[in-house]
Every structure is written in structure tokens, then in C-alpha cells.
Amino acid sequence: MPIRGGLPPRNPRFVGREELLADTRGLLGNGPVVLLPSADHQLGGTGRTQLAVEYAYRYADTYELVWWIPAEQNAGMRAALVGLASELKLPEARDINRTLGAVRDALSRGEPYRNWLVVFENANRPEDIKPYLPSGAGHVLVTSRNPRWTSEVAQAVPVPVFDRTDSVDFLRGRNPELTAEDADRIAAHLGDVPMALDQAAAVRTATGWGVDDYLRRYDARAAELAFPTPIRVAWGLAADGLAEASPAAFELLELSAFLASAPVSWELLWAARGLVSLELARTVRIERRLKAAIRLIGRYGLADLDPPGESLIVHPMVRGMLGQQLSSERHAAQLRSVRAMLAAADPGDPDDPTHWPRYAALIPHLVHSDVLGGESEEIRQLVVNCVRFLYARGDYDSSRDLATQAVTRWRDSLGETDEQTLLASFHLANALRAVGRTADARALNAQTLRSQRDALGEDDETTLATANSVGADLRMQGHFGQARQLDADNLVRYRRLFGESFPTALRCANNLAADLRLLGDFRGAKALDEQVLRHRQTIFVDGHPETLSSRAALAFDLFGLGDYAGAGELLAVAGHFDTLGADHPMAMWAGRFAAMAARRSGRAEAWALATTNVELYRQKFGDLSVETLGAMVSLANCARDAGDLDEAHRLLERAVARYHAVLGDEHPFTLAAGANLTSVVRATGRHTEARTIGEEALGGLQRSVGPDHPFTLSCANGLAADLFATGEAQRAREIALDTLSRSRGVRGADHPDTLACAFNVALDAGDDQSAHAAVEELQKAYGEGHPTLSRALAGVRLETEIEPPPL
């Protein structure tokens, strides 16, 4: 049996279409096939979806994997593809686009399944699915109402109405007592249109109408319409029958005119129990009555039901006809009810993964109900929460698109300074930053923060949230001092308003600690991180991601203070990071820091740990992520220490180039990677080249982070070596002495990097006594047999490489 995902139930009453099925099977061997309505029925109703479902079941045994993807809306399509990624055992990247690309590539390679079928249902915009279409030995089947499919994308197969034999067989299959002659009469009236035939069979079964009675009613209804079509007439009869049998069920169906062609569960409809007419409320508020009404809608052929009968899917044509028959007053009233129903179904807290299935079920209906035009705060808050849900799930593109629509609409209808307009702008900036549009995010955040401060005040919670986001923008720009000033002010406000242990106050404190780390103040960062960790351990359960974030941050603080063993021990606490999964951002942080601590502790496994970590970062965040580049720098340091200078040089050259592209020439991380590159160039004896790179990096670091920053001190230590080697002994000595003095003041006299600077000064001066004393201190710091100690004993100048902290 093949693996199946999302496949609708098989239609037990499917008939005919043998030639179409065979043609589709043959064409799929040449590439994707799209099933379209025939030219004389372009609105649909000819059975494209049923044909695709039957194909999937009939030929299932020839495939290893069959996956059904609802593609009417991007968010739903992308969610289904993420489910396929899980089935293919692909790591889920933080950016969902990387996951979707990995799905396409894995299918195209035939890994792990060579023979597969992927069906995109209702893909009405070819450009939306084109990036996700796999190639290879598998098959892609598409259903669509849009005729704008070119042969370069997919081979078009028009799906016509039934031939008369299939129509008769279909009707008699639904109503076995029907004679062939009567079935022929019905089929002739309904033009052999599958959807109309299905509704006719359903309404006759539900009402008990005889053939003559049905055809009389059919002709009468057709005479009332200016443009009668078989589907419109058959639908009208079914709708009338349902309204007569149960006005409440028909009103329930009316609500679907404002919903999407996606499953509508009874739980969602139940949310409307206090928001609809008294007649419908009586049905909706009791679960068994509500489910009975759903089943009745299905009996009249006006919706498809899932096997338990607890969710319904209404065909787009039915939704359209329902909407057209509503008066303007009724339309407005039902639209208000649907919007209120969706808002009432909002579970809240979109960052909580347990709420994600509920949001995934709500998202498809936002467009059709035009919630962006909703008049109440609750409805607009649903939009904001859905924007945040999409971001939290990693679908940054969908988050950006929905937020952009919200901001555009609400600026016009509510004004630029409305609280929810500004809140949507804040979330839009987050999404823009996540998709790499950092300059746009920065500009929007700055504008939003100014407006919030003017309109809401500096102590408003949403203002503080945007200020935190501006702090992230400043860190990304390399303005660490400005970020610290802003975050420190935010923290004072958060603590005054909410207390020290309030979760968002702790996040702000966490951000301030990050600023201090970036400024080289590891003591200050450690004190703050210890405080945050204590609070988080008190208010969160064991293994909570935010607690683990504090633990990882504290480990980096210890590393920065030269306590490599302490950092390693903190990260090695059994089970703390394993519970998250290897590709969780916190686990990846911990993996990188563990590799750093292992390298500085002289353990051989450092390189393997760093290699694994880089691969995880590349899969999760891509090659241009700042976090990936930091992991590459750590791997390069491992390669250099292991003596593989070629690999270290390759990694650092690539990191420098990508930092240039992502952060710019003058960002401290770009310059720090350049400083590390000089250590590799220097190790190959190319001191003149290293000196050129080092002087440029040192000047930039002195300008950006100042002369006392650990980045600057590490770079200056290396430049002194190059100056000494190229004959500028006096300048080399001046820089080395100045670096040693500053390192003692910043890092402390016992810090391993300060001891390395002291050893280098003594070595350059030929002061054997001072060099010996420095070696003894290095032995205390590192222990016997450490590679650094071995290099010092061999009279080799010591490097003080840089490890960029997370931004």
C-alpha cells in the first residue's frame, strides 16, 4: 500500500471516464497534467476533482507515495507541503520556503520515493504552484478552473460532461429503482453535467420526489431564470428542498457563502452559537443538532462531508450561487455573523504550537469573509494573530502578505495611528526582516515606534514590543551601543509596569544581555542572564525553550570570560537541549557553543561537532543567515587549530564575502571574520597580505566597537605579529603592549587571551623569564597537554581568534 496524505475519500458512485483516466495516465509520463473544465462549461461542475480522486485511488498501487495538496490558497498549500516534508523525513527549516524547496528537490531526486503522485487541487494561479512542481520519475496532477496554463508548465486535459451512458449509469447508481428511460430523461434535462446530476439524485433521494415531479419543478425553476443552466437550476431545487426541510440547516449553509472551499468543522460553526438568529442558534448551540444539520446539508448534495460527517466542504459554484441570491441586507448580516464566528473561534496565543491546528483551519477563510474589512477589534485581532501564527510557524512569506494587506487596508479605513494598524505594522516589520528585507523592516519599525509613542505613549505594551524590535534592527546594523541604550530603557519600563518576572520583561532583559555580550561586557551579560534564568526556571516548566535560551546565553558568557570548562558543563546537562530536537534554534545555539567550548578545551571532537552544527544551520536558515555564518566562523577556527589551513581559509573567505553581502563592509561581524582570516593567512607565512587585511579590519573595528572591544583586541594581537614579521618591530611592540594593557583592563589578567597577549609580548622582546612565567599561567588556565600550551612551549606566537556572539 502506498503512503497517503490528505487524500479525500473515494467516491463509491464514480462511473465511466475510462478514456479520460487512460489518457491522463499516459500523459503523466511526459510531465505534469492539469485537468480543466471543458470550453462550454468554464465555470466548472464537470467533475475534475472527482476524476483526480478516482485516478489517485485506481492507480495507487503503482505509487509508493500519494499526496493530496489543496492549492486554492497559498497558506493551505504550503502547510500541506510541510506535512509532506515530514513524511519525507526532511528537516523543517525556520523559513518555510527552504522546507518547500527541499520537498521539491527530494521528490525530483527520487529520495526516498522514486514513484510518487502529487495532486494539486484547485490551483487557479499557475504562478503560485510553479516553484513547487517537482520533476523526476513521479507524477504531478493538477485541477484548475483557470485556462491560462501553458504547455511549458502542464499538459491540459479538458474534462467534459458525461456521455449519456455514463449519466444513466450514474443516476441509476444513486437511485437503483430508476429506470433507464427515466434516467435518460433526467440526464437530457440536465445536459449530462455531473454536478447537476449529483444534486438531482441527492434531492430526489432526500425529498422522495418522483421523476415527473422533479422534472416539472425543474422546468418551472428554469423558466424563472434569465440564464438557466443545469447546475443553477438543479442547485436551486436542492436549496429550496433544504430550506423547506430545515430553515436552520439552510441558514447554516448560507454562512458558507463567505467561507473557503476548505473543511469547515462543526467546532468552527459551533463558535457562531451566540452570533446568529434565534432559529439557527437553537440548532448550533447543541452539538448533536448541529451535526445533524451538517449531515442534512450533505444529503441534499449541497456540500461534501468528511466520513464522520463532522466537517463540510462547499463547492465554489455553490458558494457563488448562495451569495448571489442574498439580498444586500441579508448579505451584510450573514457576513457580520461569519466574521464574528471566526473571531470567536480564535484560540489566542498564536506562539503556542498547541493552537496552530486551530489557526491553520481558520486561515483559509480569512479572504472569503474579508475579515480585513471587519468593524470590530476582535475580528482585526484575529488577523493580527493569524499574521503572528504564520510567522511563528515559519511561513514568513504568507505572514508578510497578510500583514501587508492588513496595514494597507487599515491605514485607509482606521488611520495610520490606529492601535491595530500600528500593531500590524510591527508584525509586518518582523516578517520583512525574516525574509531578508532588513532595510525595509528597519524603516517601518522606526516609523511605527514614533507613531506609537505619540499615539499610545512610551509605556504602552505594544510600544515596548516595537522598541524591542527596533533594538534587534540596531543589533543587525552593528549599532550595539544604541541597542543597549534602548533595551536598558525598555527594561526599566517593563519592570516598573509588569514586574521582574513577567515573561516579556524577561525577554527584554534577555535582549539587553545580548547587547552586553556584543559589546564585550561578558560580566554584565552573565549577571543579567543568571537573573533571567532563575526567573524562567521558576515560571516555566523544565525544558521550556526560553529557559534553554537563557542556559545557552549563559554558556556563551562563561566562554567569553574564559571559563571554557564551565561553559561545556552547562551545555552538557543531560536532556536539556535534546528535548527540543537537533534543528531547534536553541539546540543549534547550544551545539555551536559546545563546539566552541570543546575547541578551547583542547578536545578532539570539536571539529566534528562544528561540522554537524554548520550543516544544521545551513538546512534550517540557509547559507546567508547571520547565524549560519557565525557557525562557519566557529568551524573555520576548528579547522585552523587542527592544522587544515586550506579548509579554514575557504570557510573564512566565504564567511567574509557573505557577511559583506548581508551586513555590509563596516559591520563588526564582517570585520571580525576578516580578522580571523588574517590568522590563517599568517599561518601560511604570508605576513604582508595578512598585515594588509588586518590593518583594514583593525581600523574598522576601532571605529565601530572601539579600541577596548574583544574583537579589536584580538585583531590587534594578530596585526602585531605581522608587523613584527615584516620588520616593523617598534610599531609591533607598541601595539602589542597597548593590547596587553587593554586586555588586562577589559578581560582581566587571568583570562586566557590576556595570558596569550602577555606571552606574545615576552616572546617578541626575547624576555625568556617573562615568557616562562606566562607559560606557567597558561598551564593553570588550560591544563597539561593542551594544544595552546604545546604551541607556547614550542615558541610559537599565540592567536586570539574571534567567536561572534548571536545577534
Q: Is the pLDDT of residue 574 over 50?
A: no
Structural contact between residues 710 and 729, judged by C-beta atoms closer than 8 angstroms: no
- Within a domain: 461: no
* Whether residue 152 sits in one domain with residue 14: yes
Domain end position, chosen among 108, 142, 160? 160
- Within a domain: 223: yes
Q: Is the pLDDT of residue 543 over 80?
A: no
User: What gap in Å lies between CA 801 and CA 782, rounded to an integer?
Assistant: 16
Look at the chain and report how many structural domains it folds into.
Answer: 3
Which is more confidently placed, 394 or 756?
Answer: 756
Mean pLDDT of the chain: 91
Strand 3-5 vs strand 65-70: parallel, antiparallel, or unpaired?
parallel
**Per-residue three-class SS string for 575-622:** CCCHHHCCCCHHHHHHHHHHHHHHHHCCCCCHHHHHHHHHHHHHHHHC
What's the rounded mean pLDDT across residues 85-113?
Answer: 87
- Domain residues for the domain of 206 are 165-372
* Whether residue 187 sits in one domain with residue 152: no
Structural contact between residues 69 and 77, judged by C-beta atoms closer than 8 angstroms: yes
**Alpha helical stretches, state H, 705-798:** 710-725, 729-746, 752-765, 768-782, 787-793
Domain end position, chosen among 372, 402, 427? 372
* Whether residue 177 sits in one domain with residue 107: no
Q: Which residues contact 798 (CB under 8 A, 6 or more apart)?
A: 756, 759, 760, 788, 791, 792
Cell representation of residue 198 = 449529483
pTM of the model: 0.80
Cell representation of residue 542 = 523544565
Q: Is the pLDDT of residue 672 over 50?
A: yes
Model pLDDT, residue 467: 94
CATH of the domain at 696: 1.25.40.10
- Within a domain: 712: yes
Domain end position, chosen among 109, 129, 160? 160
Q: Is the pLDDT of residue 773 over 50?
A: yes
Which is more confidently placed, 307 or 154?
Answer: 154
* Whether residue 800 sits in one domain with residue 711: yes
Q: Is the pLDDT of residue 634 over 90?
A: yes
Q: What whole-number percentage of the chain has pLDDT above 70?
A: 99
- Within a domain: 746: yes
Model pLDDT, residue 278: 76
* Whether residue 111 sits in one domain with residue 32: yes
* Whether residue 286 sits in one domain with residue 143: no
pLDDT digits (tens, 9 = 90+) for 504-515: 999 999 999 999
* Whether residue 181 sits in one domain with residue 99: no
* Whether residue 193 sits in one domain with residue 227: yes
- Would you call 228 helix, strand, or coil by DSSP? coil
Q: Please report how the helices 585-600 and 564-571 are oriented relative to each other, as an axis angle in degrees rounded to 10.
A: 150
Model pLDDT, residue 533: 94
- Within a domain: 529: no
Structural contact between residues 687 and 722, judged by C-beta atoms closer than 8 angstroms: yes
- Within a domain: 669: yes
Cell representation of residue 281 = 442558534
Model pLDDT, residue 577: 66
- Within a domain: 544: no
* Whether residue 151 sits in one domain with residue 183: no
CATH of the domain at 138: 3.40.50.300
Q: What whole-number percentage of the chain has pLDDT above 90?
A: 69
* Whether residue 184 sits in one domain with residue 86: no
* Whether residue 102 sits in one domain with residue 13: yes
User: What gap in Å lies between CA 711 and CA 451, rounded to an integer?
Assistant: 37
- Within a domain: 790: yes
Report whether the peptide linkage leading into residue 112 is cis, meaning its omega lies within 30 degrees of zero: yes
* Whether residue 770 sits in one domain with residue 728: yes
Cell representation of residue 299 = 444529503
Q: Is the pLDDT of residue 148 over 80?
A: yes
Task: Look at the block and give the residue holding cell 566565504.
Answer: 654
User: What gap in Å lies between CA 252 and CA 296, rounded to an integer?
Assistant: 11
Q: Is the pLDDT of residue 718 over 90?
A: yes
